[in-house]
Amino acid sequence: MREESGSGESATAGSEPPERTVVHGASELVVGPDDGVEVETITDGAFAAEDGRVVAIGTTDEVLREYPAGSADVAVDADGRLVTPGFVDPHSHAVFAGDRTDEFAAKLRGKSYEDILAEGGGILRTVRAVREADEATLTANLLEHLDVMLAHGTTTVEVKSGYGLSTESELKLLRAIDAAAEAHPVSVVPTFMGAHAVPDGDDAEAYTRRVVDEQIPAVAEQGIADFCDVFCERGVFSADQSRRILEAGREAGLTPKIHADEFADVGATGVAADVGAASADHLLRTDDDGADRLVEAGVTPVLLPGTAFALGEAYADARRFLDAGTPVALATDFNPNCFARSMGFVATLGCVGMGMTPAESVRGVTHAAAEALDRADGAGGVGTLRPGAPADAVVHGVGKLVDVPYSLDVNTVETVLSKGSRVVADGRVARE
């Protein structure tokens, strides 16, 4: 691919978008979902953006007639390659410290995730490392992960707190997320997840009251989270506790999300439907009633096939939602238990593990993922390249949509644009 002109190679969140960006010559330009089709694609496609927002899409001839490449501050000749919207990763635990690689080996020897957590390992071990780490270290760790995500085509990612489990350390994590978001071109969506585990030696009921009475008011006062999430699970937070936490969060302005049915069905999907959650995530043990409740309530199902893959568990039933007409969002769940940052890999697992079609999987890592973050439509909606959307796009080193999930191992991403600026070139991240 030829990079014709333009700078924008070291854009950060704060820098001004280029006045004009033009991407042309795409073998296929994936636009976004359309009536009756998973994703609309334009053959020999192009788009133009002004001040970081898409203003025109069409064939290369159509777009270049009005927006000649020579008039652009950033012009990219895709030269017969695939262009997609930037990937949206709607579920990650990407801010943490410490090392749990030995647990990977223990799990391979047959130890279960829940046993490790019950013995004070797993999440609780990461909590100890996070409490010892200073904010700058947490920010630096997250920035490294954001670089890897961006190099794999992710331009929007949700990041949860949840390895602090006290007001002070949850706020430290949210400040670290905020600082990384300021310094990085990936758009970061912050989620408060004080109810990620019950702290060592604590009791779920007493801790639930502290999340409601102390943590949520403190987070709301700082204004540094958009969503509130809870691990509604056997041995962690019950359906009743989860409901109280999510309702308190909603009253404080935090939109509910829920970790549902990862190891056992304790009623999380009912809670998700009742509190109007934006998404219910995992869904490995969801029965038909639970799935129906999500579909009826309009809760976006977020499936995390990397987690099932890493744990050696059966995959979630994506087809059940798709057959009901509900798009399925896909996410990495990136965390020390599931060390996956590539949405291309997740799309592969969506197809190979869950029987999604290539188009469903690409919708799952773009527009459906944006729905799980309440950012799919309207001004600033991501996951599409329709006029009005941010010019967040990926030029892949392959020619067709199917090549994204078809590529099992190699990263297909060559060039990434974030709000019209080129932030990955030749597969390498350029940031200050």
Interface positions with Fe ion (CB under 5 A):
333
Stretch that binds ligand NIG, among 46-54, 330-338, 386-394, 423-431 (CB under 6 A): 330-338
Stretch that binds ligand NIG, among 70-78, 331-339, 347-355, 380-388 (CB under 6 A): 331-339
Residues 59-118 that bind ligand NIG (CB under 6 A): 93
Tokens of 165: 């489990």
Q: How long, in residues, is the chain?
A: 432
How near is the Cβ of 173 to ligand NIG at its closest, in Å? 13
Q: How far is CA 367 from CA 162, 291, 328, 371, 410, in A?
A: 26, 20, 10, 6, 23
Residue number of the CB atom closest to ligand NIG: 337
Tokens of 213: 């009475």
394 binds ligand NIG (CB under 6 A): no
366 binds, among ligand NIG, Fe ion, none (CB under 5 to 8 A by kind): none
Q: Can you say how many angstroms the Cα of residue 302 is from the centroid of all Cα atoms in its chain? A: 10
279 binds ligand NIG (CB under 6 A): no
How near is the Cβ of 3 to ligand NIG at its closest, in Å? 38
Q: Using DSSP, state whether 315 is helix, strand or coil.
A: coil
Nearer to Fe ion, 123 or 417 (CB): 123
Residue number of the CB atom closest to Fe ion: 333
Nearer to ligand NIG, 30 or 283 (CB): 283
Stretch that binds ligand NIG, among 41-49, 219-227, 287-295, 333-341 (CB under 6 A): 333-341
Contact yes or no for 198/236 (Cβ under 8 A): yes
Nearer to ligand NIG, 169 or 335 (CB): 335
Residue 212: beta bridge partners? none
How near is the Cβ of 265 to Fe ion at its closest, in Å? 17
- Separation between Cα atoms, residue 309 and residue 165, nearest integer Å: 27
Nearest to 276 by CA among 325, 318, 243, 304: 243
Q: Residues 263, 269, 272, 277: what is their CA dihedral angle, to the nearest 10 degrees? A: 80
Nearest to 11 by CA among 392, 398, 408, 348: 392
How near is the Cβ of 311 to ligand NIG at its closest, in Å? 8
Q: Identify the residue among 333, 360, 392, 414 touching ligand NIG (CB under 6 A).
A: 333
How near is the Cβ of 299 to Fe ion at its closest, in Å? 16
Nearer to Fe ion, 158 or 333 (CB): 333
State residue 213 phi and psi, 5-degree precision. -85, -30
- Separation between Cα atoms, residue 71 and residue 80, nearest integer Å: 21
Q: Identify the residue among 335, 348, 366, 418 touching ligand NIG (CB under 6 A).
A: 335
Contact yes or no for 76/386 (Cβ under 8 A): no
Cα-only R_g, the chain: 21
Q: Identify the residue among 307, 342, 348, 415 touching ligand NIG (CB under 6 A).
A: 307
Written as one letter, the residue type at 338 is C
187 binds ligand NIG (CB under 6 A): no
How near is the Cβ of 219 to Fe ion at its closest, in Å? 18
342 binds, among Fe ion, ligand NIG, none (CB under 5 to 8 A by kind): none
Nearer to ligand NIG, 226 or 261 (CB): 261
Tokens of 68: 């000649």
Stretch that binds ligand NIG, among 328-336, 348-356, 362-370, 394-402 (CB under 6 A): 328-336
- Would you give the DSSP letter of residue 220? H
Contact yes or no for 236/262 (Cβ under 8 A): no
CA angle 259, 114, 225 (to 5 degrees): 30
Tokens of 18: 């280029």
Q: Identify the residue among 24, 107, 259, 341 touching ligand NIG (CB under 6 A).
A: 259
Nearer to ligand NIG, 124 or 389 (CB): 124
- Separation between Cα atoms, residue 432 and residue 428, nearest integer Å: 13
How near is the Cβ of 156 to Fe ion at its closest, in Å? 17
Q: Identify the residue among 40, 77, 262, 360 touching ligand NIG (CB under 6 A).
A: 262
- Separation between Cα atoms, residue 85 and residue 396, nearest integer Å: 11
231 binds ligand NIG (CB under 6 A): yes
Nearer to ligand NIG, 226 or 262 (CB): 262
Nearer to ligand NIG, 5 or 137 (CB): 137
Residue 255 burial (10 A CB sphere; 0-12, 13-18, 19+): buried
With residue 417 as reference, give the H or E element that holds it: strand 413-418
126 binds, among Fe ion, ligand NIG, none (CB under 5 to 8 A by kind): ligand NIG
Nearest to 154 by CA among 121, 188, 120: 188
In the complex, the residues that contact ligand NIG under the rule CB under 6 A are 93, 122-123, 126, 231, 259, 262, 307, 333, 335-338
